[in-house]
Structure 1
Amino acid sequence: MEDVNGAMTGLLHVWSVYQQDADDVMAGIMFGMPSKPLSSEDMLILAEHARKFKFFVEEIALRQEYLKRVQLEGKERIKFISKIAQAYHNIKMSKAAGKILSPFLLTDYRLIKPRLIKYETEARHEISSTDTLNIKRTLSGTEQLCQSETKTSKEQSKLYCTLRRTEIPYYVVKEEVLHVRPRVLLFHDVISDDDIRNLKKTTIQQLYSPSEIYFNDAGMTIYQLKDRKFKRLSDKLSRRMSRITGLSNQLKPIQTDAENFQVIHYGPGGRLPEISDCRTESLWTCTEHDQLPLAPYVRYSGDNIATWITFLNDVKEGGATIMPALKVRVPAVKGAALFFYNYKRSGDCDLRTQYRTCPVALGTRWDAVKLIKQGGQVFRRLCDTSMDSKDD
């Protein structure tokens, strides 16, 4: 049942964020790709789910289509229409809710009159008391960023691509600057197809070790890679990261410089709510009380100074990583890695680099995530005494 609920929530997020046409969704078409259409029973179940999770615009579309397909009579019809009216009321369209419900005022259904009075009262206080029944939800800035780039031409003109030299003179990497200050970078072609296959193979083998797998209700599965068979590949990838970033990624049994790799799989509709990898347990403020709940190898290693996200596949539609505060949008590009700092040089948490993952619309998404600790970077990324320091 959890899988079904997760699939319904994912569908509603994709429908809502990417503003797919309601008729297409119910006909089983997403982004022009056909699938099984929704039956009348599917619509009813999905409408109830939409109501529970406050997808009221989608609930209205589902219930209206259900009403066209199924002939309801008497009190059953009135109760059903009153749910549509309530959904309009929930999106601050009380005048429209009253318009839907008023034809049933003279029926013997006792809840009609008090609801009409309520809707009429609320309509007086609404900024927009439109009574139109053709609605389209207004997207937030974050949702607009999921759909397309929102940086202005002037902001985009500051961005560029270059070949970045590493610690090894003959090894250069393709660097794309996604934001100048704070620095947000995308490194292309940092992992081979063979390494990606081996990484996924190791991940799939861990399906037999449930203790190392974490599921959540956002369509994500997180695998903690601790298998000895993975060590050779892990060390190889960590050395490459170190050469590119100049930071230490060495895994240690105590006070490690970085965490183990996490491989994250996003199914259809899968998404990551907005988070910051800066968790305010910095190296210079941590206490024993803070550290004891942590795994032994990360205790007293400090907080996550930087984040490295390797994209292991292309995503057909959706699934971009976004930083709303910076208007940064990063579609998943196979073989590329997103890198950014979670701390300013002044030692403060940089909440500008909070990020989230937009819902995966078509296909799936695979990431390999590495969180880099403060402890190993003491002499690699120097602090700045100025609270207004310029971040590189």
Structure 2
Amino acid sequence: MASLLQIEDELIGYMRQYAMELQHKVNTMRTFQEEWMTRRALGPADPTSYVANPLISFPLMRRTYTDVPKLLELAREEFKPGPFQKFIDYDLSSISDVELETAVTGMLRFQGVYGMDESEMANGKLHGKQYNSRMSAADCLAVATHLENVDKGKLACKWFKVAIDQYEEKLDPVNRLLQTGRSQIYEKLGLTLLAMHDLPASQAAFRDSIGWASKEDNTDLAKHLKDKLAHMFVHVDNCRGKNLLPSKSYLRCRYLRDGSPFLRMAPVKLEQLNIEPFVGLFHDAISPAEQKDLLHLTDSRLEHRKKDSSSVEAKVDTNASDHVRRIHQRIEDITGFDLEESEPLTVSNYGIGGQDFIHLDCEQPKEFIGYYPKEYRSASAMFYLSDVQMGGYASFPDLGFGFKPRRGSALVWHNTDNSGNCDTRSLQATCPVLLGNQWVAKKWISGSGQWRRKSCRK
């Protein structure tokens, strides 16, 4: 730890020299600004009258042709290689995340052993003794984030709230750089409460985050949070059965006969729920024997899903049985996609309270590399292997509807548009199971290998 103190002392020295050079440039700029504003205020407000006076127009011309180029040159001028270069090239290889994790873990350990209050700790009080020290909002946020990462959400929420209490207005520029402003703290608090399934508290935290984002002129974050909050409200209404399936004149229930020779002989019942993006419910899409086989194949291999102890799942290989091979062929027939490079079927069971919260199955690549990667999911198919007594609705928050699925049906939706972009309207969720349990089989259809079947990128 002593070496870290030495590093900080050296950086303070470099920052001081760097700041002095920056301040010199700022002072020069400010002097120019004040001088020009003073001259402008002395003349008439009307531009024509202003330039009519040669004692005013000549200095204006001189400033424009002589001062401005030098001022722009100063603005573009790089700093001297001394302190600035030492500062930006400082070697931080001796510092590792392990040391930070160890420090946080140790602090939380003695908090638990000695039963100390997090607010008192943040204000310098350890085991009844007051010290001349104080944790900043960024310090408390780091502790809370660590706790959230190790699935200790309840204690993390306490530290998030302490971070808000420790916030200092004078450090606004620092917090903007570190992204540790009040809006970001409330957002992380809301996400943690959401992971703990405390919907009312998470909504309140998101509202606070929106309020502070607006005050901080962080319009992008404010819009993002408003959309997230709106989706949460719609999702809750979907789960409560308030938003029924859309009844629009252009939506049809029909037999699907196109796409494969098999469908011409044995068409399937399609209830189209949305056109763009496509959302369709196929009735009687999986037989009781196929359902039973999937449950039998995964019976001894089910594992708990991460961060959700009320749900278990297991993957089923394509060649696990004749039934599974037929299911894969049926998915190709009804979707028109090639499944060769897609992930295996995943059989999941949602117990009491089990859910899939609002999410996208697609993730937009940072750049297009000429083909769809295997993990890029163009579409999703979900087979329902059981009925649920209460709860377990399928929800599409952005499209504004939800419904209670029936055993034997298959829900198919597209995650990308014809340009290959992730379609954010395809947000979907599974509502918590209230009574009974829900069995489903999911197939995520990769965008890779679809060039013969899906329209080209535009």
Shift of 1:179: 1.2
Q: Which has the higher contact order (CA 8 A, sep 6+)?
A: 1
Post-superposition offset of 1:332: 2.2
Give the alignment partner of residue 216 of structure 1, picking from 307, 330, 334.
Answer: 307
1:240 to 2:330 alignment: yes
> What one-letter code is carried by the residue in structure 2 that aligns with 1:216?
K
Cα distance, 1:285 vs. partner? 3.5
The runs of at least 4 aligned residues of structure 1 exceeding 3 Å deviation read 52-57, 155-158, 213-216, 281-287
- Residue equivalent to 1:164: 256
User: How far off is 1:384 after superposition?
Assistant: 5.1
- Verify the 8 A CA contact 2:318 2:324 in the aligned structure 1: no
* 8 Å CA contact retained: 2:290, 2:324: no
1:180-199 alignment runs, 5 A limit: 180-199=275-294
Contact 1:142–1:324 (CA under 8 A) maintained in structure 2: yes
2:437 to 364, 381, 392: 364
In the alignment, is residue 334 of structure 1 matched against residue 407 of structure 2?
A: yes
Q: 3-state SS of the aligned residue for 1:315? A: coil
Structure 1 regions of 5+ residues with no counterpart? 1-8, 10-48, 58-88, 93-138, 251-255, 288-298, 386-392
How far does the alpha carbon of each residue in 1:320-376 deviate from its partner, in whole angstroms, 9 at most, with x for none?
110100013131211110001110002211010111111111110011000111122
**Given that residues 373 and 447 in structure 2 are in contact (C-alpha distance below 8 angstroms), is that contact kept between their aligned partners in structure 1?**
no
Instruction: Tell me the CA shift for residue 194 of structure 1.
Output: 0.7
Match of 2:388 in 1: 315
Deviations 1:158-196 (A, max 9, x none): 432101104122120100011122211001111100110
Counting only pairs closer than 5 Å after superposition, residues 28-107 of structure 1 correspond to structure 2 as 54=198
Q: CA deviation at 1:305?
A: 0.5
State the TM-score, normalized to the length of structure 1: 0.54
Taking the aligned partners of 1:380 and 1:282, their CA distance within structure 2 comes to 24
For residues 117-148 of structure 1, the C-alpha deviation after alignment (integer angstroms, 9 at most, x for no partner) is xxxxxxxxxxxxxxxxxxxxxx9222111111
Give the TM-score taking structure 2 as reference length: 0.47
1:353 corresponding residue in structure 2: 426
Give, in angstroms, the shift of residue 157 of structure 1.
3.9
Shift of 1:380: 0.3
Offset of 1:149 from its aligned partner? 4.5
1:201-280 correspondence to structure 2 within 5 Å:
201-207=296-302, 214-217=305-308, 219-226=310-317, 230-250=320-340, 256=341, 258-280=342-364
Instruction: Give 1:146's match in structure 2, choosing from 232, 239, 257.
Output: 239
Larger radius of gyration: 2
Q: Indicate conservation of the 8 Å contact 1:283/1:301, yes or no.
A: no
- Asked if the contact 1:218/1:271 (under 8 Å) is kept, the reply is no
Q: In structure 2, the residue corresponding to 1:377 is in which secondary structure?
A: coil
Amino acid at match of 1:379: R
What root-mean-square deviation, in Å, do the aligned CA atoms of Structure 1 and Structure 2 show? 3.4
Answer whether contact 2:238 2:400 (CA < 8 A) is retained.
Answer: yes
Task: Name structure 2 gaps, 5 residues minimum.
Answer: 1-153, 155-192, 208-231
Letter matched to residue 234 of structure 1: V
Mapped contact 1:264–1:366 kept (Cα < 8 A): yes
SS of corresponding position for 1:142: helix
Which segment is superposed worse, 175-184 or 155-164? 155-164
